[in-house]
Amino acid sequence: MLTRTDIETNMLPVPGSPPVRWRISEGLVPYELAIEEMEREVAAIANGEADELVWLLEHPPLYTAGTSADVADLIEPERFPVFATGRGGEYTYHGPGQRVVYVMLDLKRRRQDVRAYVAALENVIIRTLDKMNVRGERREDRVGVWVRRPEKPLLPDGGMAEDKIAALGIRLRKWVSFHGLSINVDPDLAHFSGIVPCGISAYGVTSLVDLGLPVMIGDVDVLLREAFEEVFGPAVPEAGSGG
């Protein structure tokens, strides 16, 4: 079986497809409202009533549990609201300073290959980071995007320390994707201590600002759209939306 690194991640749509809607929401969007909106959009896309959508937002502080979550990894259940979600994966944190990207694409118009889709999302993140001279890397045994931290102590097995800078968790319905990814721009990294992020305790969590980059979420959004279009094709801002 090919590794995600070796999979061809071209996910361009079939010729003649309309561009993806690109939506940026200001302020903090409650998680429940975001899920309701995603459900509506996914149904409309699946029924051919709406074009594909990428939705960029921030949430208030909260934890979400994916379909593989182990309750033992929820260390501080009273710290923030906890939401069960249908996406793949385990526990993760969302909060201010983290760019959440909900990706609603019709893979029937692109490529009906879940592993290739996950690899393509990772590729978008890696390309975005590369535009800021940050080397993001995928790991075959753990989904997400990672950065090496040679300045930190070695791991118990003697390996180099690595921190997670971006997380992924997806779901498909009638081959329409939803949920998506999150990139740590400048969240409060202490908030991750209430969980074992993605069930992985051996590695840490970092952000662009933690790595020394003086960036804002808006700066990342511009590069994120460029990287998305390189992998998935054209995207146009919705009326009244940033981007």
Is the pLDDT score of 155 beyond 90? Answer: no
pLDDT in tens, 169-202: 999 999 999 999 999 999 999 999 999 876 667 7
Catalytic residue among 198, 205, 208, 231, which?
198
- Check whether 129 is labelled as a binding-site residue: no
Residues found in the chain: 243
Cβ–Cβ under 8 Å, residues 22 and 243: yes
Domain boundaries, the chain: 20-237
Residue 169 annotated in ligand binding: yes
DSSP state of 64: E
Cα separations (Å) of 120 from 97, 111, 114, 191? 24, 11, 10, 28
Is 31 one of the annotated binding-site residues?
A: no
Distance CA 111, CA 201 (A): 34
- The class (CATH top level) of 20-237 is alpha beta
Q: Render pLDDT for 21-62 as a digit per residue (tens, 0 to 9).
A: 999 999 999 999 999 999 999 999 999 999 999 999 999 999
Residue 198 catalytic?
A: yes
Distance of CA 35 to the CA centre of its chain: 15
181 marked as part of a ligand binding site: yes
pLDDT over threshold 80, residue 221: yes
